[in-house]
Amino acid sequence: MDIGGNMFEEIKKSLKVSIWFMFLTFPIMVIKVNLTDKVIIWRWKNLILVGIGSFFLSFIWRYLLERKAKKAKKEEMGIGQTSIFLKIFNNPKYAKPLYIIFLLFILAFPFIFSMYQTNIMISALIYVMLGLGLNIVVGLAGLLDLGYVAFYAVGAYSYALLNYHFHINFWLALPIGGLLAAIFGIVLGFPVLRLRGDYLAIVTLGFGEIIRLILENWDEFSFGPSGISNIPRPSLFGINLGVKESTIFIYYLIVFMSIITIFVVNRLQNSRLGRAWIALREDEIACQAMGIDKTKTKLTAFALGATWAGFGGVIFAAKTTFINPASFTFLESAIILSIVVLGGMGSIQGVILAALIMILLPEYLRAFSDYRMLIFGASMVLMMVFRPEGLIPSSRRKYEYDPTKR
Amino acid sequence: MNKKEPILDVKNISMHFGGLKAVDKLSLQVYPDEIVALIGPNGAGKTTFFNCITGIYEPTLGDVFVLRDGKKRRLNGLKPNKVTELGLARTFQNIRIFSNMTVLENVMVGRHCRTKSWVIGAILRDKKTRQEEIETIEYSYNLLEKLDLHKFANEMAKNLPYGAQKKLEIARALATDPVLLLLDEPAAGLNPQETSELKDIINKIKEEEKISILLIEHDMKLVMNISDRVYVMESGRLLAQGTPREISQNPEVIKAYLGEEHA
Amino acid sequence: MDYFFELFFSGLSKGSIYALIALGYTMVYGIIELINFAHGEIYMIGAFTALIISGILTILGFNKISILILATIGAVIYSSAYGFTVEKIAYKPLRGSSRLSPLISAIGMSIFLQNYVLLAQTPNFVSFPELIPEIKWLEPYSSFLGSTDFVIIVTTAIVLVLLTILIKFTKIGKAMRATAQNQVMAALVGVNVDKIISVTFIIGSGLAAIGGVLIGSHVGQINFYIGFIAGIKAFTAAVLGGIGSIPGAVLGGLVLGWTESFGTGYISSDYEDVFAFCLLVLILIFRPAGILGESTQQKV
């Protein structure tokens, strides 16, 4: 942004923006009508806030857009840009100690912090698992799934219902939940094989909502909106633990599951299957021309992605001991999708970071809790405009091939 | 007269889009150790023809056969990945490489239909899977060396210059271990030096790899130089076929296509 | 028989609302191939704006008809303004990027606007004033055709006629059709593509606003969340009729309206929303081009 002669122009622009927003938000921000008492409340403070806020924000907005354009130009000319993040994470010298410290912190967590914090951390880690699972579908295979929450619900309700009807315990329910979710993944994946990006997104959204509505209305099956309660926590070698011990137990369980998930996803990413997924994502036509069976590859992605949601669902049910359809709305799918996209499509570290930020930040910024969703929505827009590659963009593996060692 | 069985036998292929006959009763053969060119004015239906024989479109009429392991296999009606498995590999008119994968990985993807490991193998990385992975890397790297792309092995494909990307598509197609390579305008956008390099590559593929080649091209000099036989298409139909010399002297062809100054 | 007509007209009126909203989706998708997730919120904001304006005017003592007209005009102006602004902030910077980014941005915008209204106004349902007067001569038919139903149907019909005239016979309409067919070519022949895209958003938003005013008067209450459900259903309608096709959006809206009406009337009222989603899924799987759409071949 050129300062000096153009300063006047810039101020004029921001002024126009400010006036526009003051006009735009006037009815909703300023006026509140109370028909029963025949009163109109005028909140002029809001008008001033909008005016000043938009004035300054428009400077920042234009500046950031310019920076983005400059960066795009540089990329076109072949000058690569690597962020600091990527440099740190890809350099094993820095990355390894970081990971170890982080892991130790996670392992020690329940003893440093309170039960309440531990519960929050359990939530965050469940979302890490969900994010990594969806990452397979969206990040690697490029299949836009807006109904991922359906598989989460399948996992949760399988445990709840199997336990209710057949007294199946947690440990048996865990693999069953994952398996059932995988089956649903294939069933839901089959009809959408031919669909392009946006259409796929909407159909999966539709599926997710259909499942939620069925859970809400088919009372005989799912007990409707009142849900299922008294879901038992996992037992340790047959011993039922108290609340505190259970929580710690579940905590370490989810840490363990997360580590396994990271391990599995990492292996999948750099395998024949992983490459097939990325080829599918990059160019569906070319990937078929290279001998990849599109159907098999897509269904595998759906099934595997769904499996992790199933596991997550079982653990969620065991943690909260009560589930109802309200936990499985489209908003949940949107949150999990955001975790994947904002973290960096296909990037394991990015997804983990995004999940932790998404869940922990609102908890620790309680003062702003009313604005949580507002900030969430705004961040989605801002990230897509300014940093679509995500917090930690994914990078492909570099192979060291030494021709002399044959 | 060489009465060998053709590797590719196309019998009266037609492709109708509604009322439009994009390809109209086209027959064509490619024999072993041959470089065959398919030429014709823009819009003649050449790429549509490619799409018909590689499974992207299902031809409205006609049959396509490939000779595989001594047996004749019908290709029309098969999905594209099956066609590739049976030995037809192709490049695209507008480059379709996998931009966000490395150069080496692009070629490794080509090995997909010749390898097996799936979910369990990927997760467990057992001995068989690891062996397969090493072989894939070696095979792919060798291909890159043959095409002088090995120094780009760990570069992101999208960062490659245009000419290198075109070569990468060829390397990737070769990785599928085809019996017939279909090249769609491989020389488009290349400078004379790159075109000369392309010529050598194509000849090497025919001679050393023993793979036949069917190419769509507009660069007449290249076509006349390397082709054993030429087919000429116009408005979906076969206009003429023969050796490069026969074609260049065919009055019909000259009228329809070679009217401008070329070779 | 009376019951049948009741369901028929309520389906027709519901379908009209869906059509009004669906038009916005279809026009935007036709021109920039984007599912404007935030469109439902534009509809909701139209309803809220109408509520606020009519609230003020009621307290000031205006008469019913002028309140209705002024509130509608206000809603249309504001919804159009919001639609215009949303496009400039969340979609324009993303033109040319992958399909995923604008979609995520749209979802984010939708969530943002929902919560914006929630926080600035209220999370609760608010009662919407009765803006549509009782029509005397409809009295004998009131068992199956209410006044609000009638007004909705007639208004939608008038709006559609006006829209068709705009698209078919005006210069701007021509420019819109050209841009929808081929953006690059349209730009080359001198069409200001940015302006046309903005115009598309403005018109679509205005139509949704009218829908918002009508639905508010009809149902009697609104809240910040009505945009989400109506949005999905209207999108279903647009796809059903053939995305990108204006008559398709109307047809789709009516089909959806009747399906819901007869479905809840004769089958079950619990699963009302499920009808829409099932229709959506089935259409996208078996005939993605919709009733009036043409299937397009992907160029290889």
Q: Is B92 on the interface with C (CB under 8 A)?
A: yes
Weakest-pLDDT range from A54-68, A94-108, A163-177: A94-108
* Alpha-helical regions (H) of A77-218: 84-90, 92-112, 115-134, 149-166, 170-189, 197-217
Is residue A363 pLDDT above 60, yes or no?
yes
* Alpha-helical regions (H) of A135-195: 149-166, 170-189
What is the C-alpha separation between A281 and A277, in angstroms, rounded? 6
Q: What confidence score (pLDDT) does residue B252 get?
A: 84
Q: What confidence score (pLDDT) does residue A406 get?
A: 45
Model confidence band, residue C67 (pLDDT cutoffs 50, 70, 90)? confident
Residue A74 identity = K
What's the token pair of residue B42? 């823009």
Q: Which tens digits make up the pLDDT trace of C254-296?
A: 999 998 888 888 777 777 788 778 888 888 778 878 888 766 5
* Residue at token pair 């088919």: A218
Please tell me the distance in Å from A273's CA to the nearest CA on chain B: 6
Q: B118 by DSSP, 3-state: which?
A: coil
Residue B185's φ and ψ, nearest 5 degrees, are 50, 60
| ipTM of the complex in this document | 0.92
Give the residue-averaged pLDDT of A366-376.
82
Model confidence band, residue A403 (pLDDT cutoffs 50, 70, 90)? low
Considering only residues C34 and A235, tell me which one the structure prediction assigns the higher pLDDT: C34
Q: E-strand spans in B109-211?
A: 180-184
Count of Cβ atoms closer than 10 Å to residue C128 Cβ = 23
Is residue A364 pLDDT above 80, yes or no?
no
A: neighbours with 3+ CB pairs under 8 Å? B, C
What is the C-alpha separation between A138 and A132, in angstroms, rounded? 10
Q: Is A53 on the interface with C (CB under 8 A)?
A: no
What does the mean pLDDT of chain A come to?
86
Q: Which of A28, A192, A378 sits opposite C121 (nearest CB)?
A: A28
Highest mean pLDDT among A69-83, A189-203, A256-270, C3-17: A256-270
Q: Is C285 on the interface with B (CB under 8 A)?
A: no
Q: What angle do CA A12, A17, A20 make, to 5 degrees?
A: 125
Whether A282 sits inside 8 A of B101 (CB atoms) is yes
Residues of C in contact with A199 (CB under 8 A): 239, 284, 288
User: Could you tell me the end-to-end alpha-carbon distance of chain B, in angstroms, rounded to an integer?
Assistant: 29
Q: What is the model's pTM?
A: 0.89
Give the residue-averaged pLDDT of B214-229.
92
Residues of C in contact with A330 (CB under 8 A): 228
The answer to whether residues A381 and C90 touch, using CB atoms and an 8 Å cutoff, is: yes
Model confidence band, residue B213 (pLDDT cutoffs 50, 70, 90)? very high
Give the residue-averaged pLDDT of C232-260.
88
What does the mean pLDDT of chain B come to?
90
Is residue A180 pLDDT above 80, yes or no?
yes
Is residue B86 pLDDT above 90, yes or no?
yes
Give the residue-averaged pLDDT of B118-130.
91
Q: Is C184 on the interface with B (CB under 8 A)?
A: no
Q: What confidence score (pLDDT) does residue A89 get?
A: 62
* Alpha-helical regions (H) of B54-110: 80-85, 103-110
Size of interface B-C (CB pairs under 8 A): 5
The answer to whether residues B122 and A267 touch, using CB atoms and an 8 Å cutoff, is: yes
Residue A313 identity = G
Is residue A78 pLDDT above 60, yes or no?
no
Q: Which tens digits make up the pLDDT trace of C195-217?
A: 999 999 999 999 999 999 988 88
Model confidence band, residue C175 (pLDDT cutoffs 50, 70, 90)? confident
Give the residue-averaged pLDDT of A88-94.
67
Q: Which tens digits make up the pLDDT trace of B177-192?
A: 999 999 999 999 999 9
Residues of B in contact with A267 (CB under 8 A): 122-123, 125
Whether B104 sits inside 8 A of A399 (CB atoms) is yes
A87 Cβ partners below 8 Å, 6+ apart?
none
CA distances (Å), origin C25, targets C28, C98, C248: 5, 19, 11
What does the mean pLDDT of chain C come to?
86
Q: What angle do CA A308, A310, A312 make, to 5 degrees?
A: 70
Give the residue-averaged pLDDT of C68-77.
92
C102 Cβ partners below 8 Å, 6+ apart?
A384, C34, C90, C91, C94, C95
Highest mean pLDDT among A40-49, A104-113, A311-320: A311-320
Asked: is C2-286 a CATH 1.10.3470 domain? The reply is yes
B: neighbours with 3+ CB pairs under 8 Å? A, C
Is residue B3 pLDDT above 70, yes or no?
no
What is the C-alpha separation between C151 and C157, in angstroms, rounded? 10
Please tell me the distance in Å from A93's CA to the nearest CA on chain C: 34
Q: Is B166 on the interface with A (CB under 8 A)?
A: no
Q: What confidence score (pLDDT) does residue C296 get?
A: 58
DSSP labels for A235-261? PBTTBPP-HHHHHHHHHHHHHHHHHHH
Q: What confidence score (pLDDT) does residue B1 get?
A: 42
Whether C300 sits inside 8 A of B56 (CB atoms) is yes
Q: Is B56 on the interface with C (CB under 8 A)?
A: yes
CA distances (Å), origin C225, targets A56, A370, C40: 30, 16, 9
Q: Which tens digits make up the pLDDT trace of A108-126?
A: 888 888 888 888 899 999 9
* Preferred mutation among C26, C111, C217, C299 to probe A, highest tally of A CBs within 10 A: C111
Q: What confidence score (pLDDT) does residue C218 get?
A: 85
Residue C44's φ and ψ, nearest 5 degrees, are -65, -40
Q: Is C85 on the interface with A (CB under 8 A)?
A: yes
Q: What confidence score (pLDDT) does residue B263 get?
A: 45
